[in-house]
């Protein structure tokens, strides 16, 4: 439900760190790399180089990682009960079995989910993977020492809210996870969750052998269940992966694991990464990046070079950048005022501030077009391409503000996306409609604790929301479900909107276990909520990424809008 | 700058009157060039709104039509979109007018630098005089405080202070206050050392004998003697402060949007240097020229105050550093050498190294 | 000598203690909750309380600082979850954000700044002393004027502008160098030097000016002294006079100032590191300040302070050793 965890990097030089992952193809979607014929059967061998700007100084602990669909690098080390389907195009948003034989058997109104493990699964140390290892992996993600992962398990599992993990004297196991035999695991939820198979693709569902658990130190050398294992790891500098000899394609249909070795350079500046990928000299011809997209200046350069353009892939991660109102604070308790702001928005200026049409696409819907299955088009307050200040003024006058209004706007200064450029673009556009925005920049360290605590939340916030898996559920529930309002911090229902009818509707959709049916209903709910102007949807981001000239089968998957390393080949 | 030259004028002693200093300053080509450049800069800052109006632009308006949205929002046209309407081109991704942003930015850059320098002078003078004229204990205490202040990682502390103070506090004022609060120590050292020397002079001793109060002595006897070193030092610190403000803005800690300052412009421009060099070079060169002008002014002032040192050679160090010659009158351990050296470092190691290291 | 060092050490310890206390207080007052950051965006309120307790940030600030100090002096045990580990003194604790041992983090970054400082120092001494000597020995109206202008210009350039201009010049227009990317000397010395060349130049070019002045002044001063006149009168070759005696006159000040400058760069060169993407102390300082990572922030301040104190002490000792007039 959250935007994927990102490293609070303080590169004030604005060396555009791709803050929140972005991408996932709405039509424009993922295109397959054009460099030569690729055959899955004959792709193995060679060394893939990865040039990343992330430093990964928190290492790789499956309990702490916050990924979408298992992430890029973590998915090479950790197999989970389910995983995303590794194919280009729309099918890439499907969840498929990984360690388990199927995506889960629901019962009792989707409050109980049962999984059976495949046979012959082994850790990199040769010991067999059992259901107890999966249970232990989930349990340790509840430890305060290993905080950082997604919050759903706490909310969904029976007894999850109070459980504090398996560490310390007197610690118990979590009774709502049953392991009747070494290959069966049962989860008892406190409410219906038709999306459970999607959550089971997160790294928290990776098996961890209790005997090898070193707690906080586990992140440097975790026991692998995936196709690769860590041969060398210097945090902030490099990570070398070699084949896990106990993994085989026969039990894993999703990871092709083509290269024999994967050498990952960490903590590079984005200028260095993009320069090396464009030059593609020597070993860099075998290189990709898992986190550095082309920023506006680089894009301007690449656009002018047809040869480079061929080595660019594009995609989108379903994430909406939007204005959040606090309905409890004047003047946004008045729907007319909220509508006025919706009319006043200049989406062209916002898209330009983001770096132009190749990096951002305007959106009038909260669920963006790239979340195709759950998207329904609507534009109830048409602002046109550059805003309709006249209509906005009229609505403001109608609401009793003939002389305009002055409101604060909070934004995250360290976020290259929703930061200063977008905030100033809004300020300029709103000024034309008599709306004075007082910019209230908050550092990344401060943004979350201020905005997500109702007591300190500003009346108007510029923020973004991405789905942890491609479904309307994690997209809408945290934002519009009244029971998700939390007073102590970590609140994402910024509108503080609580309508029992909507809450009941959410519960009803959560009971649906048929993906397509559920998504249609989420889409309808979004369109229904859109009429209330609870938010002003602004735009979604697009991603363009370069890859080296030897690299094959490089595509951005539609789940995450990023390279699926498990499919890339250099042979 | 005006305030400095006039204050230098009222103080006499060293250079033979304000007129003398001024004529020597003006006589040298370098001095003249520096004075003119600095004067122009002040003029630009004062008349920024009119200059922008002359161009017909304001610093905050977006111009979507001047950008190519398909190529990263880069400006249409050569040299960053320079045209008759936009004399220095427009900013990529927003289309804001760069000339207007530059002239408005000079207000922040110059204002913060001047404000911070005045603050540093005031604090440094107070602490330095108190230490130099006060008793043993006052001196020891203040010298320790000065030591600590010199040891503070200025830059690092600015970051924390900028975050601690509420957002509603006016940003340029805050920048000025922080820079002066963290940068007064070397001035205090110079003032203290200089005061100690002056105190031993006969006319001061005579004043003490006549029973004049400490404050009166400070004002009547000591301050005039401090004018020359302080005026010179001011011209050195001022560009340092300008660079410090630019540095903080460069790291994204300075002024808040949509306000512009040269450091802020440089900061948003850095990523564009491959595609739109004009955008980068404009604030970079402006900053460079101004810092250079102030540095030149400092150099010229030094010479003007001390005509004998015209050839930038031997006497220079002795002059600015104010080392009490291998003095018998050195009470504390921290007074003589290290103080002189700290001052020497402040003078010889240039602004950015200080900013750089701290 | 020993008394001098002892006195210095005591003074330094007092300054560092005050520095640490100030830093701790100041950064503690910064808005932003390190526990919230460590806990992630999906953190619930009870979970947040648990994380605060695990980090120790639920304690009063004075107590936290005391723990920090005792940990530094005597070591401390830390829980990893299933077990506990002992962090022996000097222990700066663990980063709130990455859970790495701060001492190790600092040791990892230090080689970058050592590389930066030593290389840059070599360059600026070469440039500064060279031009200083040249200016002193070949005086001339125009030559002086040109040297003066160049020195003033280079010396006035802010280091980030210099870095930017070097990057534009070398990497974009001339394309003679790739964008720098730090490589440790242990991995590949040639790559190490190539990648540090621009950062060295950036620092050296803006710093050299000061040394030019010092050298010129020192040499001229010595050349005007009586014993040099005597030597000249005896017909000693000018070359020898300059190299043997005049340079020696400039040496103490140059070496002293250089030692202090090296200390400053060692303690973290924020702009150079940021512009060239060098993973040094300066960059770490800015990053950890933005995430309110108190143990790292304090660790860096202490290390930087200590480096500067050491550099100043070395400068004093060198000065005393080189200049017979100075006594410690």
**A415–chain C Cβ distance below 8 A for any pair:** no
Average pLDDT, chain A: 89
The answer on pLDDT for B330 being more than 50 is no
Cα C53 to Cα B56: distance, rounded to the nearest angstrom: 59
Contact at CB, B74 and A15, closer than 8 angstroms: no
What residues in B contact A413, CB-CB < 8 Å?
252
**A373–chain C Cβ distance below 8 A for any pair:** no
3-state secondary structure chain B: CHHHHHHHHHCCHHHCCHHHHHHHHHHCHHHHHHHHHHHHHHHHHHCHHHHHHHHCCCCCCCCHHHEEHHHCCEECCCCCCCCCCCCCCECCCCCCEHHHHHHHHHHHHHHHHHHHHHHHHHHHHHHHHHHHHCCHHHHHHHHHHHHHHHHCCHHHHHHHHHHHCCCCCCHHHHHHHHHHHHHCHHHHHHHHHHHHHHHHCHHHHHHHHCCCCHHHHHHHHHHHHHHHHHHHHHHHHHHHHHHHHHHHHHCCCCCCCCCCCHHHHHHHHHHHCCCCHHHHHHHHHHHHHHHHHHHHHHHHHHHHHCHHHCCCCHHHHHHHHCCCCCCCCCCCCCCCHHHHHHHHHHHHCCHHHHHHHC
The answer on pLDDT for B328 being more than 70 is no
**C107–chain A Cβ distance below 8 A for any pair:** no
**Which member of A154, A216, A275 has the closest CB to residue C81?**
A216
Cα B272 to Cα A546: distance, rounded to the nearest angstrom: 18
Over residues A384-399, the mean pLDDT reads 95
Q: Reduced to 3 states, what is the DSSP secondary structure of residue A125?
A: coil
pLDDT tens digit string along B137-172? 888 899 888 888 887 777 778 888 887 887 778 889
Going by their DSSP bridges, the two strands A47-51 and A261-265 should be labelled as parallel
CATH number of A102's domain? 3.40.190.10
Which of A222, A248, A273 corresponds to the end of one domain? A222
In 3D space, the residue among A481, A473, A486 whose CA is nearest the CA of residue A502 turns out to be: A481
Cα dihedral sign, A329-A331-A337-A342: negative
Peptide bond into C90 cis (omega under 30): yes
Which residues, 6 or more positions from C178, have their beta carbon under 8 angstroms from its beta carbon? Answer: A272, A275, A276, A279, C171
b/e code C95-121 from CB counts within 10 Å (16+ = b): bbbbbbbbbebbebbbbbbebbbebbb
Q: Reduced to 3 states, what is the DSSP secondary structure of residue A288?
A: strand
pLDDT tens digit string along B29-54? 878 888 999 999 999 999 999 999 99
In chain B, what percentage of residues exceed pLDDT 90?
28
b/e code B100-118 from CB counts within 10 Å (16+ = b): bbbbbbbbbbbbbbbbbbb
What residues in B contact C167, CB-CB < 8 Å?
273
Over residues A224-229, the mean pLDDT reads 97
CATH number of A417's domain? 3.10.105.10
Query: Would residue A216 count as lying in a domain?
Result: yes
Query: Would residue A494 count as lying in a domain?
Result: yes
The reported pLDDT for the residue numbered B81 is 85
Cα A272 to Cα A267: distance, rounded to the nearest angstrom: 10
In chain A, what percentage of residues exceed pLDDT 70?
93
Query: Would residue A262 count as lying in a domain?
Result: no
Cα B273 to Cα A148: distance, rounded to the nearest angstrom: 37
Cα dihedral sign, B266-B268-B270-B274: negative
**Which member of C272, C274, C316 has the closest CB to residue B337?**
C316
pLDDT tens digit string along C77-102? 888 888 888 888 788 888 888 888 89
Q: Are A500 and A352 in the same domain?
A: yes
The reported pLDDT for the residue numbered B204 is 77
Q: Are A537 and A399 in the same domain?
A: yes
Cα B216 to Cα B219: distance, rounded to the nearest angstrom: 5
Least confident of A180-189, A248-257, B211-220, C191-200: B211-220
Cα A527 to Cα C195: distance, rounded to the nearest angstrom: 54
Cα dihedral sign, A101-A104-A106-A111: positive
Least confident of A31-40, A320-329, A561-570: A31-40
DSSP class of residue C287 equals H
Tokens of C322: 């080189």
The reported pLDDT for the residue numbered C326 is 67
Which of A222, A245, A275 corresponds to the end of one domain? A222
| pLDDT-based confidence at residue A190 (cuts at 50, 70, 90) | very high
| pLDDT-based confidence at residue A57 (cuts at 50, 70, 90) | confident
Tokens of C304: 């930087």
Q: H-helix or E-strand containing C63? A: helix C61-74
Interface test with B, best of C20, C125, C156 (most B CBs within 10 A): C156
The reported pLDDT for the residue numbered C40 is 76
Going by their DSSP bridges, the two strands A287-288 and A405-412 should be labelled as unpaired
The reported pLDDT for the residue numbered C225 is 80
Residues 257-316 of chain C whose Cβ lies under 8 A from any Cβ of chain A:
274-275, 277, 279, 286-287, 289-292
Least confident of A237-251, A496-510, C41-55: C41-55
Over residues A94-104, the mean pLDDT reads 96
The answer on pLDDT for A16 being more than 80 is no
More confident residue, C8 or C103: C103
The reported pLDDT for the residue numbered A418 is 60
Across A555-564, B112-121, C170-179, C180-189, the highest mean pLDDT is recorded for B112-121
More confident residue, A37 or C262: C262
Over residues C224-229, the mean pLDDT reads 80
pLDDT tens digit string along A478-498? 999 999 888 877 889 999 999
Write out the residue range of the structural domain in which residue A378 sits.
Answer: 319-541
The reported pLDDT for the residue numbered B257 is 85
Q: How far is the alpha carbon of C85 from chain B, nearest alpha carbon, in Å?
A: 31
Q: Are A185 and A327 in the same domain?
A: no
- CATH (one of 1.10.3720.10, 3.30.70.270, 3.40.640.10, 2.40.420.20) for C103-322: 1.10.3720.10
Query: Interface of chain A against chain B, CB under 8 Å?
Result: 12-16, 271, 295-301, 303-304, 346, 348-349, 351-359, 386, 413, 420-421, 423-425, 427-429, 439-443, 446
DSSP class of residue C170 equals I
Give the other-Cβ count within 10 Å of B99's Cβ: 21
In chain C, what percentage of residues exceed pLDDT 90?
17
pLDDT tens digit string along C32-72? 788 887 887 777 778 888 888 888 888 888 888 898 888 88
What residues in B contact A359, CB-CB < 8 Å?
72
The reported pLDDT for the residue numbered A40 is 86
Which residues, 6 or more positions from B331, have their beta carbon under 8 angstroms from its beta carbon? Answer: B136, B139
| pLDDT-based confidence at residue C31 (cuts at 50, 70, 90) | confident
What residues in B contact A297, CB-CB < 8 Å?
72, 74, 92, 271-276
Across A133-137, B198-202, B299-303, C309-313, the highest mean pLDDT is recorded for A133-137
The reported pLDDT for the residue numbered A240 is 96
Peptide bond into A331 cis (omega under 30): yes
pLDDT tens digit string along B231-282? 878 888 898 899 999 988 888 788 888 899 999 999 888 888 888 899 999 9
The reported pLDDT for the residue numbered A345 is 97
pLDDT tens digit string along B1-31? 333 333 333 333 444 577 778 888 888 887 8
- Residue B100 CA to its chain's centroid (Å): 24
| CA B283 to each of CA A219, B106, B240, B242, B280: distance values in angstroms, whole numbers, following the listed order | 45, 10, 17, 13, 6
The answer on pLDDT for A29 being more than 60 is no
**Which member of A13, A148, A213 has the closest CB to residue C40?**
A148
Q: Domain boundaries in chain C?
A: 30-101, 103-322
The ipTM of this complex is 0.83
Q: CB of B147 within 8 A of CB of C261?
A: no
Crossing angle of helices B337-348 and C247-266, rounded to 10°: 80
Tokens of A366: 């909260």
The answer on pLDDT for B349 being more than 50 is no
Which of A222, A239, A256 corresponds to the end of one domain? A222
The reported pLDDT for the residue numbered B11 is 36
Cα A283 to Cα A286: distance, rounded to the nearest angstrom: 6
Over residues A509-528, the mean pLDDT reads 95
Q: CB of A104 within 8 A of CB of A182?
A: no
In chain A, what percentage of residues exceed pLDDT 90?
68
**Which member of C45, C81, C179 has the closest CB to residue A215?**
C81
Instruction: Give the total number of structural domains in chain A.
Output: 2
Q: Are A207 and A343 in the same domain?
A: no
Contact at CB, C155 and B161, closer than 8 angstroms: no
Query: Would residue A49 count as lying in a domain?
Result: no
- Residue C304 CA to its chain's centroid (Å): 7
Cα B180 to Cα B3: distance, rounded to the nearest angstrom: 17
Cα A443 to Cα A10: distance, rounded to the nearest angstrom: 9
pLDDT tens digit string along A377-389? 999 999 999 999 9
Query: Would residue A168 count as lying in a domain?
Result: yes
More confident residue, B118 or B149: B118
Nearest residue on chain B to A443, alpha-carbon basis: B163
- Residue B313 CA to its chain's centroid (Å): 24
| pLDDT-based confidence at residue A36 (cuts at 50, 70, 90) | low
Over residues B184-210, the mean pLDDT reads 83
Query: Would residue A239 count as lying in a domain?
Result: no
- Residue A233 CA to its chain's centroid (Å): 25
Chains in touch with B (3+ beta-carbon pairs under 8 Å) read A, C
């Amino acid at each position: 439900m959250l935007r994927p965890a990102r490293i609070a990097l303080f590169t004030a030089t604005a060396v555009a760190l791709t803050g929140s992952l972005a991408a996932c193809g709405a039509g424009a979607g993922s295109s397959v790399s054009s460099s030569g014929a690729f055959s899955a059967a004959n792709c193995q061998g060679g060394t893939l180089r990865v040039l990343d700007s992330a430093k990964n100084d928190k290492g790789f602990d499956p309990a702490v990682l916050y990924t979408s669909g298992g992430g890029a690098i973590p998915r090479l080390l950790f197999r989970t009960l389910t995983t995303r389907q590794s194919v280009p195009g729309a099918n890439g948003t499907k969840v498929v079995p990984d360690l388990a034989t199927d995506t889960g058997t629901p019962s009792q109104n989707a409050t109980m989910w049962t999984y059976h493990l495949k046979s012959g699964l082994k850790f990199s140390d040769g010991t067999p993977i059992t259901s107890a290892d999966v249970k232990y992996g989930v349990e340790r993600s509840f430890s305060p020492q290993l905080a950082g992962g997604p919050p759903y398990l706490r909310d969904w599992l029976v007894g999850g809210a109070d459980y504090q993990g398996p560490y310390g004297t007197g610690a118990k196991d979590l009774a709502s996870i049953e392991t009747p035999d070494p290959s069966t695991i049962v989860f008892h939820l406190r409410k219906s969750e038709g999306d459970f198979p999607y959550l089971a693709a997160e790294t928290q569902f990776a098996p961890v052998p209790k005997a090898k658990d070193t707690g906080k130190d586990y992140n440097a050398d975790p026991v692998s269940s995936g196709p690769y294992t860590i041969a060398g790891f210097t945090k902030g500098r490099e990570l070398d992966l070699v084949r896990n000899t106990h993994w085989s394609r026969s039990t894993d249909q999703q990871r092709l694991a083509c290269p024999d070795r994967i050498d990952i350079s960490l903590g590079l500046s984005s200028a260095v990464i993009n320069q090396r990928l464009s030059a593609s000299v020597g070993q860099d011809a075998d290189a990709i990046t898992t986190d550095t997209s082309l920023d506006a200046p680089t894009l301007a350069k690449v656009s002018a070079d047809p040869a480079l353009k061929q080595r660019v892939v594009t995609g989108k991660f379903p994430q909406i950048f939007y204005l959040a109102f606090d309905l409890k604070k004047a003047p946004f308790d008045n729907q007319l005022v909220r509508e006025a702001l919706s009319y006043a928005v200049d989406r062209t200026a916002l898209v330009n501030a983001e770096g132009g049409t190749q990096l951002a696409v305007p959106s009038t819907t909260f669920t963006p077009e790239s979340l195709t299955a759950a998207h329904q088009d609507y534009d109830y307050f048409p602002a046109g391409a550059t805003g309709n200040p006249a209509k906005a003024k009229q609505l403001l006058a109608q609401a009793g503000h003939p002389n305009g209004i002055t409101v604060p706007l909070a934004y995250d200064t360290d976020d290259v996306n929703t930061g200063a450029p977008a905030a100033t673009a809004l300020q300029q556009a709103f000024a034309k409609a008599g709306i004075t925005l007082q910019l209230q920049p908050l550092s990344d360290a401060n943004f979350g604790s201020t905005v997500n605590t109702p007591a300190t939340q500003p009346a108007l916030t510029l923020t973004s929301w991405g789905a942890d898996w491609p479904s309307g559920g994690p997209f809408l529930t945290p934002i519009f479900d009244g029971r998700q309002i939390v007073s102590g911090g970590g609140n994402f229902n910024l509108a503080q909107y609580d309508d029992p009818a909507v809450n009941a509707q959410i519960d009803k959709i959560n009971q649906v276990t048929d993906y397509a049916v559920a998504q249609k209903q989420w889409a309808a709910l979004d369109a229904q909520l859109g009429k209330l102007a609870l938010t002003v949807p602004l735009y979604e981001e697009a991603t363009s990424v370069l890859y080296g000239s030897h690299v094959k089968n490089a595509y951005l998957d539609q789940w995450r809008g990023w390279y699926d390393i498990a499919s890339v080949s250099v042979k | 700058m005006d305030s400095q030259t006039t204050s230098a004028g009222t103080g006499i002693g060293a250079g033979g009157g304000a007129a003398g200093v001024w004529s020597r300053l003006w006589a040298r080509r370098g001095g003249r060039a520096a004075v003119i450049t600095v004067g122009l800069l002040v003029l630009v800052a004062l008349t920024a709104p009119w200059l922008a109006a002359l161009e017909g632009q304001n610093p905050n308006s977006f111009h979507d039509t001047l950008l190519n949205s398909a190529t990263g929002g880069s400006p249409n046209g050569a040299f960053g979109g320079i045209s008759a309407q936009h004399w220095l081109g427009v900013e990529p991704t927003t289309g804001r007018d760069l000339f207007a942003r530059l002239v408005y930015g000079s207000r922040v850059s110059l204002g913060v630098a001047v404000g911070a320098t005045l603050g540093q002078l005031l604090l440094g003078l107070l602490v330095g005089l108190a230490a130099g004229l006060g008793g043993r204990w006052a001196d020891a205490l203040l010298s320790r405080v000065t030591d600590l202040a010199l040891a503070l990682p200025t830059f690092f502390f600015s970051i924390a202070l900028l975050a601690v103070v509420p957002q509603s506090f006016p940003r340029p004022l805050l920048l000025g206050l922080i820079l002066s609060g963290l940068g007064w120590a070397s001035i205090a050292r110079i003032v203290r050392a200089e005061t100690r020397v002056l105190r031993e002079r006969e006319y001061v001793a005579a004043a003490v004998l006549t029973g004049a109060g400490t404050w009166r002595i400070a004002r009547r006897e000591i301050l005039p003697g401090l004018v020359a070193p302080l005026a010179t030092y001011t011209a050195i610190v001022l560009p340092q402060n300008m660079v410090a403000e630019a540095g903080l803005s460069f790291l994204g800690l300075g002024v808040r949007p949509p306000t512009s300052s040269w450091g802020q412009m440089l900061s948003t421009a850095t990523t564009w240097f491959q595609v739109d060099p004009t955008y980068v070079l404009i604030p970079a060169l402006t900053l460079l020229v101004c810092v250079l002008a102030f540095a030149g002014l400092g150099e010229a002032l030094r010479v003007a105050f001390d005509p004998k040192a015209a050839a930038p050679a031997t006497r220079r160090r002795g002059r600015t550093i104010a080392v009490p010659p291998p003095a018998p009158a050195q009470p504390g351990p921290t007074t003589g050498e290290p103080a002189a050296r700290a001052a020497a470092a402040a003078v010889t190691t240039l602004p950015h190294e200080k900013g750089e290291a701290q | 000598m020993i008394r001098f060092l002892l006195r210095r050490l005591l003074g330094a310890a007092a300054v560092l203690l005050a520095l640490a206390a100030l830093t701790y207080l100041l950064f503690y007052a910064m808005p932003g909750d390190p526990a919230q950051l460590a806990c992630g965006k999906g953190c619930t309120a009870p979970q947040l309380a648990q994380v605060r307790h695990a980090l120790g940030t639920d304690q009063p600030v004075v107590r936290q600082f005391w723990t920090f100090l005792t940990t530094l002096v005597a070591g401390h045990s830390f829980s990893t979850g299933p077990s506990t580990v002992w962090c022996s003194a000097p222990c700066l604790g663990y980063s709130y954000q990455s859970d790495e041992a701060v001492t190790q983090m600092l040791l990892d970054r230090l080689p970058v700044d050592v590389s930066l400082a030593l290389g840059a120092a070599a360059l600026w001494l070469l440039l500064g002393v060279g031009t200083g000597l040249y200016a002193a020995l070949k005086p001339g109206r125009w030559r002086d004027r040109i040297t003066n202008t160049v020195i003033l210009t280079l010396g006035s350039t802010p280091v980030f502008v210099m870095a930017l201009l070097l990057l534009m010049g070398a990497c974009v227009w001339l394309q003679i160098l790739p964008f720098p990317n730090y490589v440790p000397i242990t991995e590949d010395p040639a790559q190490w030097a190539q990648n540090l060349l621009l950062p060295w130049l950036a620092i050296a070019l803006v710093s050299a000016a000061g040394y030019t002045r010092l050298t010129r002044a020192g040499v001229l001063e010595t050349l005007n002294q009586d014993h040099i006149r005597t030597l000249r009168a005896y017909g000693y070759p000018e070359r020898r006079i300059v190299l043997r005696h005049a340079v020696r006159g400039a040496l103490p000040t140059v070496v002293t100032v250089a030692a202090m400058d090296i200390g400053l760069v060692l303690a973290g060169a924020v702009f150079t590191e940021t512009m060239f993407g060098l993973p040094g102390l300066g960059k770490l300082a800015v990053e950890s300040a933005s995430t309110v990572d108190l143990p790292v922030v304090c660790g860096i301040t202490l290390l930087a302070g200590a480096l500067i104190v050491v550099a100043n002490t070395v400068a004093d000792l060198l000065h005393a050793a080189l200049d017979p007039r100075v006594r410690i």
